[in-house]
Amino acid sequence: MIVGVPKEIKNHEYRVGLTPDQVFELSRFGHQVLIEKNAGQGIGFLDEHYVMVGAEIVDHAKHIFERSNLVVKVKEPQPEECQMLKPGQTLFTYLHLAPDPAQTQALINSQATCIAYETVTSSNGRLPLLAPMSEVAGRMSMQAAANHLEKSQGGRGLLLGGVPGVYPAQVVILGAGVVGSSALQMAVGLGAEVTIIDKNIDRLRELDALYGNRIHTLYSSTSNIERAVINADVVIGSVLIPGASAPKLVSKSLVSKIHPGSVLVDVAIDQGGCFETSRPTSHQDPTYLVDDVIHYCVANMPGAVARTSTIALTNATAPFVMDLANHGTELALARNQHLMNGLNVYQGHVCCQAVAIAQGLEYVDPKTLIH
């Protein structure tokens, strides 16, 4: 199979779909790998590193899309990339389609097979290709919050962990999944006063057993969220419904009651965000104000630590890429239900129920299309 890796073109995105180690494994099994020129240069994976393990360096993305059977990326395809996709081709990347009707329609029009990292599952019911980036984003969310609490960044002028004789910052984390747990670990380590909110009582019990009286746990209800958020200096939004749009847990009216200079970090922004006032931002221009409350809504947070993120992500995606290359897309999907769960669009059909519901589109069970 011909596997192609274009250079990411989203703002300040330096991650790359395959590392030289993964290219070596694909080459060893007889697959041809095309890497766009300088695709990994920003994080120290140079063209010569790829050539040494058997890759061919290609000058332009259009040649990657023209020649490849399988295109492996990191971020969702941008409009110009969607136009280069073609029938019979497979795209394997993050998609986050639920809040993005334009991208969904572009992928439908392409007639390509589009598999989303974020909806691939594992035998324990988790999301193995979302988890590594969620860990990175969760930890980074506290770094971003601590930085923007500083007065020079427009914040309240608070040190996250305080000092003897001074209260630490009040941090509220919405969601106790991978992102929320990673943010919690960082917040506790920095000495913040932390409240974590979730609907899963068993998960809250686990965190209580792990952290004890160093944290507060709350069941997720409208009143609990409102009481906690109003008094918060930092709110981390980390809720996730696989494949679907994130629920809006913090309303615009609630934002108006938060202390000026407080920081909201919406890690769920890829799925539409969980604050009503959220809109995507970039690493180049990461924040904006609503009612003097700082909103940090960068849609590719892990891209800021691109080398760490690339290695962590490709460690997780490598077995699936190899499966697709060795068996072909249809057979790989048919023999692996967890990979099949990642199928969002197949030859013009929407095969992810959460995406279809979010956008009012017809859902087609992929099992009726692939045998």
Catalytic residues: 96, 270
- Give the distance from CA 41 to its chain's centroid: 22
- Residues 145-151: contacts with CB within 8 Å, 24+ apart? 145/171, 145/234, 145/236, 145/263, 145/265, 145/296, 146/190, 148/263, 148/287, 148/294, 148/296, 149/233, 149/234, 149/261, 149/263
DSSP string, 265-328: EEGGGGGT-SBTT---B-SSS-EEEETTEEEE-BTTGGGGGHHHHHHHHHHHHHHHHHHHHHH-
CB atoms within 10 A of CB 49: 17
CB-based contacts of 311: which residues, under 8 Å, 6+ apart?
19
Could you tell me the two tokens for 207? 């965190």
Q: Report how far apart, in Å, the C-alpha atoms of 346 and of each of 119, 224, 283, 358 are.
A: 14, 42, 32, 18
DSSP state at residue 241: -
What's the rounded Cα separation, in Å, for the pair 59 and 68? 14
CB atoms within 10 A of CB 284: 8
| Inter-helix orientation angle 131-148/178-189, to 10° | 40
- As beta bridge partners, residue 92 has 72, 115
